Amino acid sequence: MNLRRLSLIGAALLMSIPTFASTYYGGFEDTKDGDYDYNDIVFTLSGNGLTLNTSDGHWYNKPMLGNSGAPFWNNASYDNGNKNVGFCVYGGGDCGAGLNSTARYLARNDKSHTGSANDVTFSAGANQNVVANVVMEISGYTDVLGYYNTSDPSKIYWLNTSGQTGTFQLVPTGTFGVVAKNGVHGPDQTFYSQSKFDGIKDNVSHFAFFGDTAAAPEPGAMGLMAGGLIMVGALFRRRKVEV
């Protein structure tokens, strides 16, 4: 197979690759026993062009296994040992090999790597669905997860309405946030990823978020690479004709 044909095949393959799907990892902590280990619901959000927006948070590299960094890394969990969201994402505890060993975690600022990022929303690509996967729920209560469009935070779309694990489809309109409630079989308290909407004002975000640090090519860069391969093929053809 000659260089021109290889170049055109490579360009076609690059142009056929879909927009990169981002994945974020999260944990929710209810008010049961006040343990703040964020393991009461552990979930992922995935979607094409999905981005996490925060006004008060920064991304930090993960702490080492065995270190304490409450609330995102609480090894003294009241829910039995290493079942917190940090172990679930990075490996260990009830999550076996973990969800993503390269993830970083979101906290408030450069001076407080254990503080809460209290204002978190998400944006997805135009006309793109988002998939939520609830990995585990080990709370003393039965908690549920949902989402809301920031244009109308009072309307919540609940996902695992009975507290079940599994995969659920989100169809957000524009920017959206996530919300959880420890109220199926316990106190009916609702917590938003934008804490200004929370029913309980404790100045602590009841969500923890983790993101993938793996660099992925932008769609524009993929197009440039495909165009370059096409040009290589054209030049090779022209050179053959001139010879």
Q: Give the position of tokens 């925060």.
A: 54
Q: Give the number of other CB atoms < 10 A from CB of residue 98.
A: 17
Spell out the alpha helix ranges (H) of the chain: 3-16, 85-90, 219-242
95 in Cβ contact with 82 (< 8 Å)? no
Prior bond of 217 cis (ω within 30°): no
Q: What is the DSSP string of 14-81?
A: HHHSPPPEEEEEEEE--SGGG---S-SEEEEEEEET-EEEESS-EEEPPPPTT--BTTTB-TTBTTTB
Decide: 37 and 83 in contact? Cβ < 8 Å: yes
Q: Which residues of the chain have pLDDT under 70?
A: 1-20, 34-35, 64-71, 73-82, 92-97, 126-127, 137-140, 183-187, 199, 201, 213-243
What are the residues whose beta carbons fall under 8 Å from the beta carbon of 103, sequence distance 6 or more? 25, 62, 89, 90, 210, 211, 212, 213
Q: Give the model's pLDDT for residue 118.
A: 87
Rounded CA separation 74/77 (Å): 6
CA distance 29 to 206: 5
Counted residue by residue, the chain has a size of: 243
Q: How far is the CA of 159 from the CAs of 93, 95, 151, in angstroms?
A: 25, 22, 19
Only one residue has tokens 């975000």, namely 205
For the chain, the structural domain boundaries read 1-20+219-243, 22-216
pTM recorded for the entire structure? 0.76
